[in-house]
Amino acid sequence: MERPENFDRYLAHFRVRSRLARKKLYRRSLFIVGGLAVGAVAVLMAWLADHAQDIFAAGLRTAPYLALAATPLGFALATLLARHVFPNSQGSGIPQTIAALQIENQASRAPLVSLRVAFGKIVVMTLGLLFGASTGREGPTVQVGAAIMFAMGRTAPYRQSGFLLAGAAAGVAAAFNTPLAGIVFGIEEMSRSFEQRTSGLIIGAVIAAGLTSLALIGDYSYFGSTAERLPLSSDWFGVLVCAMVGGLSGGLFIRLVASFAKGLPGRAGAAIARWPILFAMLCGLGVALCGLNGDASVFGTGYAQARAVVHASGDIDYWFAPLKFVATTLSAISGIPGGVFSPSLAIGAGEGSALSLIFPHLALGALALVGMVAYLTGVTQAPITAFVIVSEMTDDHAMIIPLMLAAVVARAASRLLSREGLYHALSHGFLASARAEPAKMA
């Protein structure tokens, strides 16, 4: 019996289509499973961070001056581990992920987002918080999420940039329990573009990470729900002032951290390069002094202090913002692993509360929210991410318009001091190192 005409051609076409369909299904499955894994690890990192801070706080209650010895030693140990045991784990981790996205060579990309770096990030980040560092765990979650997705993506014959991007976005979504902000962060901050082919997969990974976080720790708003309102009136002048202050201070933070990352000129820079562990100890001592002057509230992520300001549930400490700014700067330039997301939100909330002295008729919670968006925008220069993440964290949609205005003004103010956001400014060093040196798998 003869085959119908063109049967072989149709059969070959069917086989090709089936093979492509299986590949697509496999790839989508990797994104979903990876998102579940990122969500679970993000919850673990949150638990570790909270308990590390609780242990340090308990130690301070027993011996108030413990930080003067423990924090410098902790910074020294964390820096030693980050430099010699887990290289590429220092700092936030977002610059490393941005650099990895720009590298096409897999062997050069791998040391920035390997599972070993992810493990080291978790361990040394927790160690830093255990000794009072003014750092956060959200930025590290981005690098860890990217590393998990990168490891899973290596089993598929596709470009890895989509996996890295999805892991970073899922990390933000799970860390803050803000799925929309995770998507916006992936588009605006990490990729600086919208890739149609990977956008749906990013959303899938974000949903998987969010569902995992929801299943493990329940539905919650990062800073709790607020009902702040800011009607259109002359009081909006306070929004503009708060936005300018946050943008300029965020730009100053970029300049300081980026300058130390590139290396200071002259003898100071040479001394830091020669004795990095000693420099880290000095930074730790500075953080300890800031923390003692700030009634110990300056240590750690600053989450509790920011939440208290947003809900106006505590006394206003007008020195909190400047002390937290100094402590966070010292932590960032020391070389220890740790993020700046949570400390930035705390600094912004502190700046907003301090401005209540000048604008007493504005609701304290509203000023705090504006300050958080302004300073976070000033640091990242990602205005959409900043106002989306704060509005989603507080479940307060009535403040979206003033938060949008604050983000736009803050970005303009920040760019007066720095042409790039912190993460992109720091990514150049990692990118240059990865391209200049032969890749060594971590």
Query: Looking at residue 292, which CATH number applies to its domain?
Result: 1.10.3080.10
Q: Which domain holds residue 73?
A: 26-45+52-217
Q: What does the alpha-carbon distance between residue 11 and residue 75 come to, in Å, rounded to a whole number?
A: 65
pLDDT at 280: 96
Average pLDDT over residues 225-252: 77
Q: What does the alpha-carbon distance between residue 297 and residue 301 come to, in Å, rounded to a whole number?
A: 9
Same structural domain for residues 276 and 369?
yes
Same structural domain for residues 94 and 199?
yes
Same structural domain for residues 202 and 283?
no
The beta-carbon contacts of 82-85 under 8 Å, at least 24 apart in sequence, are 82/120, 82/124, 82/335, 82/336, 82/337, 83/276, 83/335, 85/120
Same structural domain for residues 174 and 70?
yes
pLDDT at 211: 60
Q: What does the alpha-carbon distance between residue 251 and residue 396 come to, in Å, rounded to a whole number?
A: 27
Residue 34 dihedral angles phi and psi, to the nearest 5°: -60, -40
Same structural domain for residues 144 and 79?
yes
Q: What does the alpha-carbon distance between residue 402 and residue 293 come to, in Å, rounded to a whole number?
A: 33
Q: What's the number of CA atoms in the CB half-sphere (13 Å) around residue 202?
A: 30
Could you tell me what percent of the chain has a pLDDT over 70? 81
pLDDT band at 203 (very low <50, low <70, confident <90, very high): very low
Same structural domain for residues 400 and 276?
yes
- Name the domain count of the chain: 2
Same structural domain for residues 196 and 94?
yes
Report CA 117 to chain centroid distance, whole Å: 16
Residue 91 dihedral angles phi and psi, to the nearest 5°: 70, -155
For residue 437, the one-letter residue type is E
Q: Are 107 and 320 in contact (CB under 8 A)?
A: no
Give the residue from 210, 41, 71 showing the smallest Cα distance to 135.
71
Same structural domain for residues 158 and 258?
no
Q: What does the alpha-carbon distance between residue 232 and residue 237 come to, in Å, rounded to a whole number?
A: 10
Residue owning tokens 């001394």: 271
pTM of the model: 0.85
Q: Is residue 19 part of a domain?
A: no
Give the residue from 119, 153, 111 showing the smallest Cα distance to 436.
111
Does the pLDDT of residue 10 top 70, yes or no?
no
Which residues in 240-268 are b (16+ Cβ under 10 Å) and which e? ebbbbbbbbbbbbbbebbbebbeeeeeee
Q: Is residue 179 part of a domain?
A: yes
Q: Is residue 11 part of a domain?
A: no
pLDDT at 403: 85
pLDDT at 60: 92
Q: Is residue 4 part of a domain?
A: no
Same structural domain for residues 250 and 175?
no
Q: Is residue 305 part of a domain?
A: yes
pLDDT at 348: 95
pLDDT at 398: 67
Average pLDDT over residues 157-183: 80
Give the residue from 199, 112, 198, 93 showing the smallest Cα distance to 151.
112
Q: What does the alpha-carbon distance between residue 230 and residue 402 come to, in Å, rounded to a whole number?
A: 7
Same structural domain for residues 278 and 369?
yes
Q: Which two tokens stand for residue 209?
A: 């990470």
**SS3 assignment, position 421:** coil
pLDDT at 157: 58
pLDDT at 48: 95
CB atoms within 10 A of CB 430: 23
Q: Which of 167, 189, 217 is the last residue of a domain?
A: 217
Average pLDDT over residues 355-376: 89
Q: Is residue 9 part of a domain?
A: no
Does the pLDDT of residue 439 top 50, yes or no?
no
Q: What does the alpha-carbon distance between residue 389 and residue 403 come to, in Å, rounded to a whole number?
A: 11
103-121 per-position pLDDT tens digit: 888 888 889 999 999 999 9
Q: Higher model confidence: residue 183 or residue 191?
A: 183
Residues 6+ apart with CB under 8 A from 36: 208, 209, 211, 212
Give the residue from 276, 410, 425, 265 showing the smallest Cα distance to 336.
276
Does the pLDDT of residue 220 top 80, yes or no?
no
Write the CA distances from 42 to 138, 142, 242, 319, integer angstroms. Answer: 8, 9, 32, 32
396-419 per-position pLDDT tens digit: 666 777 888 888 899 999 999 999
Same structural domain for residues 245 and 169?
no
Q: What does the alpha-carbon distance between residue 244 and residue 46 come to, in Å, rounded to a whole number?
A: 32
Q: Is residue 246 part of a domain?
A: yes
Q: Is residue 339 part of a domain?
A: yes
Q: Higher model confidence: residue 437 or residue 292?
A: 292
Same structural domain for residues 333 and 375?
yes
